[in-house]
Amino acid sequence: MIMATRTDTQTPALHVADCHDLIRVHGARENNLKDVSVELPKRRLTVFTGVSGSGKSSLVFSTIAAESQRLINETYSAFVQGFMPTLGRPEVDVLEGLTTAIIVDQQRMGADPRSTVGTATDANAMLRILFSRLGQPHIGPPPAFSFNVATRTASGAMKVDKGKGERIVVRNAVYHGGMCPRCEGRGSVTDFDLSQLYDDSKSLNEGALTIPGYSMDGWYGRIFRGCGYFDPDKPIRRFTKKELDDLLYKEPTKIKVDGINLTYSGLIPTIQKSFLSKDVDAMQPHIRAFVERVVTFTACPDCDGTRLSEPARSSKIKGINIADACAMEIRDLAEWVRGLDEPTVAPLLAKLLHTLESFVEIGLGYLSLERPAGTLSGGEAQRTKMIRHLGSALTDVTYVFDEPTIGLHPHDIQRMNDLLQRLRDKGNTVLVVEHKPEAIAIADHVVDLGPGAGTAGGTICYEGTIEGLRASGTITGRHLDDRAVLKETVRTPTGKLEIRGAARHNLQDVDVDIPLGVLCVVTGVAGSGKSSLIHGSIPASADVVSVDQAPIRGSRRSNPATYTGLLDPIRKAFAKANGVKPALFSANSEGACPACNGAGVIYVDLGIMAGSATTCEDCGGKRFEASVLEYHLGGRDISEVLAMSVTEAEEFFGAGEARTPAAHAILGRLVDVGLGYLTIGQPLTTLSGGERQRLKLATHMAEKSGVYVLDEPTAGLHLADVEQLLGLLDRLVDAGKSVIVIEHHQAVMAHADWIIDLGPGAGHDGGQIVFEGTPADLVAARSTLTGEHLAAYVGT
């Protein structure tokens, strides 16, 4: 066999296919982008920086990633596209060189109580197959180990012809499921505090019921008076056992009242159907308060909170059942799986072990598979989504990350950096929106947007290397090497908030005194127990206002004015000045343009094609009917007021004919949190993550409380914005408030009066107080991971 050998030493000409090494964006105009053009190198790690609201997400997610996903969706048949979300083409002139985009964002996982870490990552599916193959005693196929599948039985007759004539055979079939029948796979049962449902010293006609929406003046009164099950004039405490049972527990029953067919149902079934079937976070505040006051959720006594039926828990592998496996910390479960030597299921074990080891590698080994997905923080949810991509054989893919270091201790950031670089080194393009200097430092290419936020941003301020960014003079470049200094003097506490015997989740019987009247920072590695200590262990009587990481909800009709309650005093001021009803000045009520129903645009549904949105011709996008715009306050109509920036509106409502103290106070709080550039009528759907976090903070600042708990308020904030946040925290403390901050940002730690550090590790390796004291003492001792990193940060 003759082997051909190459004798020429010249470099071969570049193949035309290798020329496509750039993603080209020209003329991007999504949201606040101002005709942006940029060229991004493929198979490199590009970091996008800039102040919150400068246009980073608009360029990366709303333009590049959105167009990539839209083009991929178009490759499917029209039938398949009918089941997929319809995506419109972004506002951009040219997009070239796109590859398949995989988006790993900060969106929380669904808060459905049936969704767990195991179900969200397919680890549970693999465990179910494993137990169905190896579990003893054998109880059935994989669904027999699923807490989302109930056991069903069926019976019936069928004709069978086996060559000897037809005969009828009766068959009984059992379809095994693993759901606990009592709690229906939820792991908890509800218990009602009846004293919170009614005042038993009163009769129904005297207003005994204290349930929101229940009034004897409407349909409920007609039903209770006409049902005949009890006397509405008799105090509830004098009801017989039968009458009380009918009032509380009677199943829906058809009744006739005054010739009208109605349905009577007991209070408990009605509350379960109307209130408890909804996500608690989606409820109106007064409904949520009622549910939290009336309903207690306790572990199901039949399954001990495991969600699984007795047969599912009886099948074991080496003494461990599937409930025990899901309750283990993932790093311990990985060790257990590693010890299973079963050649018959070797491929399954290898895949399961890889998934579990990916959790450990990404810093989530402290989680358990039974952990409800809705309880994960934004950073934990984002890293959980990364699991399925770590071992992927795909290359030449564009991975898009939205602040992957959120919720990470400085100790964990290097691990995340290594993962991003590994994805790049496999031949992928990695695009990262980020604020942390440690993450920006690993970039091959940096794109800095700005110079400001909102209408003051939307342009490319710098594009190039990290060294060039430092010398560029942009806001990011100037602040990149900022390092906070320890305060020379710290405030003296005015009291203390005692926590005793805290044992929630991984806390190990913790006793701690949280100082009041100062800025107290609670820190520690991810999973060390910070949120369990603060959100789960502070007594309910402490009068605490908590600003957590849950995203604010809102449709395209919601805006900063409606979310903060600013629109109410504005409407009343307009109504008073013009002698008309306040409802006229709401685009969601009587004042709405009839052509577009107050949306400002006309939406045309084109089926599988992207829907078309055109500005309403009747109102010109102003959302109000013409007659409403004839009413003025201070020389402006309502649409002109809603088009103002927060700073402009604060001045407008602060003096003169339009002076409205209630509106001015809300606008002042928005300016305090650094949102002065926002338009008050701007849809919430266009706000960035950092802007939404600060909008929520501004809203909670109005609540009258002495203690504020802030959960990672620096999330989504640029280095320059962190300075403004520290000033705001100082003003709150100086005004007599106590501020407790759960935070990883070292600038906030250095600025604290008192630090509580949890650890030393995560999961069962954490849950202890490893340091209490001033930042200076923490730096001097260097006895914890936080102390070491903070000492390096402040340069001591």
pLDDT at residue 5 is higher than 50:
no
Quote the pTM value.
0.84
Instruction: State the pairing for strand pair 101-104/398-402.
Output: parallel
pLDDT band at 128 (very low <50, low <70, confident <90, very high): very high
More confidently predicted of 663 and 762: 663
The residue type found at 273 is K
pLDDT at residue 284 is higher than 70:
no
- Alpha-carbon distances, residue 654 vs 199, 346, 644, 658, 702 (angstroms): 46, 72, 14, 7, 18
Region of 620 (left: φ > 0; alpha: ψ -120 to 50; beta: rest) is left
Tokens of 386: 């990364």
Residue 429: predicted pLDDT: 96
Q: How far is CA 70 from the centre of its chain?
A: 24
Rounded Cα–Cα distance for residues 674 and 653 (Å): 18
The residue type found at 625 is E
28-42, 84-98, 379-393, 478-492: lowest mean pLDDT where?
A: 379-393
Over residues 498-510, the mean pLDDT reads 90
8-22, 137-151, 618-632, 763-777: lowest mean pLDDT where?
A: 8-22
Strand partners, 25: 38, 95
Concatenate the DSSP letters of all residues of 663-680 into one string: HHHHHHHHHHTT-TTSBT
What is the percent of the chain where pLDDT is above 90?
51
Instruction: State the pairing for strand pair 495-502/459-464.
Output: unpaired
Residue 256: predicted pLDDT: 84
Mean residue pLDDT of the chain comes to 88
Residue 3: predicted pLDDT: 45
Over residues 143-157, the mean pLDDT reads 90
Residue 572: predicted pLDDT: 94
Range from 246-255, 520-529, 696-705 that averages highest in pLDDT: 520-529
Residue 561: predicted pLDDT: 93
Residue 161: predicted pLDDT: 79
85-89, 335-339, 383-387: lowest mean pLDDT where?
A: 85-89
- Alpha-carbon distances, residue 376 vs 103, 138, 388 (angstroms): 18, 34, 17
Over residues 771-792, the mean pLDDT reads 94
What is the percent of the chain where pLDDT is above 70?
95
120-129, 164-173, 295-304, 693-702: lowest mean pLDDT where?
A: 164-173
> Which residue carries 């008309």 as its tokens?
580
pLDDT band at 40 (very low <50, low <70, confident <90, very high): very high
Give tens-digit pLDDT for 289-330: 788 788 887 889 999 999 999 999 999 999 999 999 999 999
